[in-house]
Structures are given as C-alpha cells and as structure tokens.
Structure 1
C-alpha cells in the first residue's frame, strides 16, 4: 500500500523527540513490511531517511494547497496520516480536497486551556508562548468539526488527550497507542544508588529552557530546606557559553553548592551511568510540544522515578513511578524535593514502581504494529 504522512517541522533535530520520533519509527516499520511510505513536510532542509521518501513543500497551509495536492495526487496514497494541531486544522484547507482512500489524524498536541497559558506566562517568554497561544485562538468548534468531517480515525499517545477528544467528539474513532521505547537499550535498576555521602542526587536532562521548567526548578531548589539535595544538570547540546550563562543563574539564586553542570551530548552508556547515581529525574515542564516527552519514558525505563508536572500526558504510563506537581507551582515542587530527600523507603517504592511499568512498556515494533492494525494495514 501507499502510505503518506503530512508532518510539520520534520527536521533532524526533531527526530529524537515526540511526535516526530514515533512517525519515523512507524514509517520505517511500514517500509520494512512492504509498504511504500512518503513524508511531506514544510521545511527547506528536511530529515532524510534511508527507508522512506521525504518531500519538502513551502508550507502546509491552505495557501499552498496546489503544491501539497500535486504530491498527494502523484503518490496516490491508500492511507494519508496528518500530524494535526488546532492551527493546522483551521488553516489547512487541502484536507477537504485530498482524496485518499482513508485519512487519519495523529493528534499529539496537548489541548491547553486559558489557565494553562496564564500559569505558563510567569516562566515562559512571550516569544515561546506565542507558538502555543496562537493555538488557543482557534475556536474549539472549528477543530472539532474538522476532525469529525475529514478523518476516518484519530491516533493519540496520551490518555489525557484521548479524554479531551472523547468529550468533544462523541462518535469519533479515537485510538490510544502508547509510545514505544528501545527495550534493548534500557533496563530498570531496582537498587537505590550507593553513596558514601548523605547526598540525594537529582538529575535534570535535556535543554535547560523556560518551557521545560528549568528556571522554575532552580527557584524551587533555592526554597528547599534539605541540605542533602544536589542537582546534576545534563544540559544536552549546551555550549560552554550556554553553561556559563546557566551557572550565572544558579549563582544569582545562591545555590551554587547544590548544582553541577555537564554540557554536551552523552553516549547511551554514560547517560545510564549518570542515571544510576540518581534518586530522581526532575522534569517540571511548564508546557510541552508533545504530550509525552521522551525523557520521561527513558528515566522510568532506567528505573529512576520522575518528578514532573501535570501538564505532561504520561501519567497513565508512569503512575506510581512519579511525583506529579501542578505545572508552574514552585512551592509544591520544593516540597516534593524535600519530601524525597533522605526518604529511602519512598525512593525504593518509586524505583519498584518503575520496574513494574517497564514490564508494561512496548517496543517500537509493537507500537508500529498497533498503528498498522488501526490503519488496517496487512503485511505486503
């Protein structure tokens, strides 16, 4: 069969992240099972795959419909899958013109409300907020009507998003497919980290940014009472200049003795070693681009509980293996950090829960197989 994905921002730097990681894994799986797979995206220099074709167009908006439809007409897809947001649903008029045999929506965007943006505004610069806030300008009835009108089925990775869709779209074919993970690369460590000191090691991993709650975490750490807490920041992709700026922020809050930075990308083995020394990974997202961050899944798969916010849609995947706070709540985060410090029984309970959730995680192949089942694809 001919399968076409229409995906915004399909570039190299996005592929390790959700939802682009899932699309790449599913496309590779479909290709390996005899299907002809193509991705249409809106960037000049798109990600290039050895397993499927990637085509670039100027834009995915309705104003560029002729170019998009030209590719779709040539590819003659049996199944067409679009990565959607409220904004793309409102502006992509080509949805009504494309004539695939079946049209599906991959709904990964978290449907934020006004209160979510009011909370986030305290920590996220306007330039970053604007990327999300413009979605809020789309009236619900518009994206709900488009989802009902054009798509044979919807696929989401988050129970939270599925609940939002179910309340709005009573008769829609909504499918929950959990994200996969490379089970061969991860295995949970169930023993508490051994240390000659009384320190409780916390890890923040990923880009140190406002939207991921990094500065909120620094503010919370400054409010903690426990003297044993130590934060190790694995600031992936951070340059020496970036680390110097982050250290200034730490010094400004008088917590230099509590924070250590490690910039640059870590190999898998090195990342595992860092995680094995940690009591928890702290990822207090203020907003998320996709409702299931990869880092959350990786931490639990390594046997390290996560302290994260309720804005993340992965609660059903990591329930009991995480401590959840209200997004943007510094005092609540500080209390959560203090409560974990030196509480070995609680730490062990959370680590055991991580091991239990690891047993329920699915491989990329199993996830992709479930996609094919929803799309009614047989192995060619």
Structure 2
C-alpha cells in the first residue's frame, strides 16, 4: 500500500510539535508495517525519519496546482492524507487531480462563531488574522468540499470528530483518534513533591502568548493573592531578552506578588522538562483557543502524575478527564477560583494526582496510535 501525506510546514525543526509529530509517528508505524510512505510539503528540508520519501513544492495553494499535480501523478498513491482547515478546504485547487481515496486529518478544531467571539478580547492581531480567516469561510462551503473529495476525516478529539461528522453527514466517516505519548519516558515521580514544601507550586509550560491564556493566568494569580502559592513559568527556548520582557509583564501585573513568580527560559533538555513537570503540584494550561486541536503538553503533565487545570476548549476536557479541573475559557475569575480551591486543599491535589495515575493507564503509546491509523487507512 502506498500513502501520501500532504502536509504544510513540515520540517525537521517541527517534528516534535503538533500536528507534525503525529504525522511523523504514524508514518513510522506505516513504514514498519511495510507501507510505502511519501511526504508532500512546502518546506525544502528532508525529514529525519528513514524511509519517509520527501517531495517539495513551492506551495500547495491553487496557484501552484500543476506542480502538486506532477507529484501526485509521479507517486500514484493508494491513499492521500491531507492536513485540513476550513481555509485550505476552500483554496486547494489540486484536489480535482486526485484519483484515489482522500482522508482529511483535521489540524484545526473547527470552532463555532460563539467560541471565537468569546476568545476575541484575548487575541493579539496575528491570532485574530489566523483564526478570523478560518471563521470567514462559510460552513456550507467547507462541508461541500469535504463531501465532494474526502471519504473520511481523522480528528484527535471526539468533540471535533462529532462536530465535523454532524456537518458533513453520513457520506464522510469521522474518526476520533487520540494523540500518543512516549509512556516509557513520561513517567510519574517516585514521591509526591508536595510533601517536601509548605506552599503550592503552580506550573505554566509554554510560550507566554495570549492565545495560550498567559495574561489570564497572571490576572488569576493576582486575584489569588496568596503568599502560600508559587507560579513557575517554563518559557522554553526564550532568550535572555525575551525572559526580561516576560518579567516586565509580570512586574506590571502582579505588583508585590511578583516575587512569587519564577521564570525558566533558554534551552531545556526534555529530561529537565520532565523533572519540572514532576516537581509541580498543579499544571495550569488556560488556553483561550487551542492552536493544534490537542496540545501534547496536557498529556505529558498527566502522564507525569501532575494534575492539570485547563479550559473547556475542544479536546481539553476529554484529555484531562478526572485528572484535573476544567474552567471556562477566557475567565480569569474562574481560573483563579480553581487555583484557590486547590491551593487550600492539599488532599484534593493528592486525589487528583491519583487520578492522573489511573488516567495514564488508558493513554496510548505511538505504536498503538499508529495501529489505529493503520486500521482506518486499510478499510
């Protein structure tokens, strides 16, 4: 069987980020199963995965449809998997050249206008452009394209799969296939870290962007107003100048509580990152919108035994389950209330930590995820 992944922005630098991480891991399982796997992308850098055959085109936009067509005719795949958003469903003129079954891998949660409206006050101009252009695509147009060209869709949350299935109708099969994790690496700490200190350590992991709820977190921590809580920010990859800029934002928002916030920037090996997750009492990931449907950081925290406070956006509630708390997105008051509840109840944190261990048993490693994809692609 020969399969072609059509993936914008795929490069060796992005292989540890979603959705490219899933593409790489699934491709690895397919190759190991004897499939011939090809990658069509608009980045002229060869992937690191042995056996993944790379094909570069300048762009996958309609203006370059003939170059894409040339690759399609040369590879002659049995299946094509396309990373899909509302916008590229509207503007991918090369679909008409496909002569085999196409499956859409949804890399955008297909937000409703109500969800986007709620997020608007918290988005920067760049995010407004990115998400606004998807929202401007009428629902009937992207569903028409799905029905015309695709036999199935794959989403990493059941919520998105159900939403698209309802819109596209019975002619398009919808599959909710979870993201995987290296469960041999992301393991809990041997001992409960909260027993070694007298305060609660909240952890924020990720870039300090408004779309990830960073400013909301600072407002929530200010509302918390507790000297018995610490906020640790893992701004991995941030330069000294960027860390200083983050510090200025913290100083301006938190006043005298600023000394309860610690920032860790610069390069961080994943072993060090794992230890940071293990050492936290609670991870706070207050996404306003989820850029790639299901952030793998949520799964990493839970697998390490660290409860998560997350928001009610897309697949986050089903990913967190009983291993944390879910609050309304965009609400600093709701976030602060959840943080206060846990800061005042160490027994509750220990209960949630136990739920993390239970939830971890139901997580899938990447081999298992790859086999689920294999079943869908073989049908």
Q: Alignment partner for residue 283 of structure 1, among 281, 285, 288?
A: 285
Q: Aligned with 2:204: secondary structure?
A: strand
Contact 1:48 1:54 in 2 (8 A): no
Q: Which sections of structure 1, spanning at least 5 residues, go unmatched?
A: none
Q: Residue 201 in 1 paired to residue 201 in 2?
A: yes
Q: Greater CA deviation, 5-14 or 18-27?
A: 5-14
Corresponding position of 1:341: 343
Q: Aligned with 2:297: secondary structure?
A: helix
Report 1 or 2 for greater relative contact order, CA contacts < 8 Å, sequence distance ≥ 6. 1
Contact 2:298 2:319 in 1 (8 A): no
Aligned partners of 1:318, 1:125: CA distance in 2, in Å? 27
Aligned partners of 2:316, 2:374: CA distance in 1, in Å? 22
Aligned partners of 1:286, 1:49: CA distance in 2, in Å? 33
Corresponding position of 2:138: 139
Aligned partners of 1:197, 1:363: CA distance in 2, in Å? 33
Corresponding position of 1:169: 168
Corresponding position of 2:129: 130
Q: After TM superposition, give the deviation of residue 119 of structure 1 in Å.
A: 2.6
Q: After TM superposition, give the deviation of residue 180 of structure 1 in Å.
A: 0.8
Corresponding position of 2:106: 107
Corresponding position of 1:245: 245
Q: Alignment partner for residue 270 of structure 2, among 268, 271, 274?
A: 268
Q: After TM superposition, give the deviation of residue 9 of structure 1 in Å.
A: 1.4
Q: Greater CA deviation, 173-182 or 36-45?
A: 36-45
Corresponding position of 2:236: 236
Contact 1:10 1:46 in 2 (8 A): no
- How has the CA–CA distance of structure 1 residues 35 and 196 changed in structure 2, closer, same or farther, with 3 Å as cutoff? closer
Contact 1:188 1:358 in 2 (8 A): no
Contact 1:317 1:357 in 2 (8 A): no
Q: Aligned with 1:82: secondary structure?
A: strand
Q: After TM superposition, give the deviation of residue 47 of structure 1 in Å.
A: 4.3
Aligned partners of 1:96, 1:232: CA distance in 2, in Å? 50
Corresponding position of 1:375: 377
Q: Greater CA deviation, 225-234 or 243-252?
A: 225-234
Corresponding position of 1:3: 3
* Structure with the larger helix share: 2
Q: Greater CA deviation, 23-32 or 65-74?
A: 23-32
Runs of 4+ in 1 over 6 A off after TM superposition: none
Corresponding position of 1:222: 222
Listed one character per residue, the Cα deviations across residues 93-121 of structure 1 (whole Å, up to 9, x for unaligned) are 21122112x21111131111223233322
Q: After TM superposition, give the deviation of residue 288 of structure 1 in Å.
A: 1.7
Contact 2:26 2:370 in 1 (8 A): yes
Structural RMSD (CA)? 1.6
Aligned partners of 2:326, 2:286: CA distance in 1, in Å? 9
Corresponding position of 1:212: 212
Contact 2:234 2:263 in 1 (8 A): yes
Q: After TM superposition, give the deviation of residue 127 of structure 1 in Å.
A: 1.6
Q: Aligned with 2:122: secondary structure?
A: coil
Contact 1:198 1:342 in 2 (8 A): no
Listed one character per residue, the Cα deviations across residues 211-263 of structure 1 (whole Å, up to 9, x for unaligned) are 11111111111111332110111111100000000000111121311210111
Corresponding position of 1:58: 58
Contact 2:188 2:278 in 1 (8 A): no
Aligned partners of 2:261, 2:308: CA distance in 1, in Å? 18
Q: After TM superposition, give the deviation of residue 196 of structure 1 in Å.
A: 4.7
Q: After TM superposition, give the deviation of residue 86 of structure 1 in Å.
A: 0.4
Q: Greater CA deviation, 75-84 or 217-226?
A: 217-226
Aligned partners of 2:29, 2:266: CA distance in 1, in Å? 31
Q: After TM superposition, give the deviation of residue 188 of structure 1 in Å.
A: 2.8
TM-score calculated relative to the size of structure 1: 0.95
Listed one character per residue, the Cα deviations across residues 346-368 of structure 1 (whole Å, up to 9, x for unaligned) are 10111111111100011101100
Q: After TM superposition, give the deviation of residue 14 of structure 1 in Å.
A: 2.6
Aligned partners of 2:307, 2:267: CA distance in 1, in Å? 22
Aligned partners of 2:258, 2:58: CA distance in 1, in Å? 47
Listed one character per residue, the Cα deviations across residues 50-92 of structure 1 (whole Å, up to 9, x for unaligned) are 3312222121122211000100100010111101000010001
Corresponding position of 2:149: 150
- How has the CA–CA distance of structure 1 residues 368 and 248 changed in structure 2, closer, same or farther, with 3 Å as cutoff? same
Q: After TM superposition, give the deviation of residue 191 of structure 1 in Å.
A: 5.0
- How has the CA–CA distance of structure 1 residues 195 and 252 changed in structure 2, closer, same or farther, with 3 Å as cutoff? farther
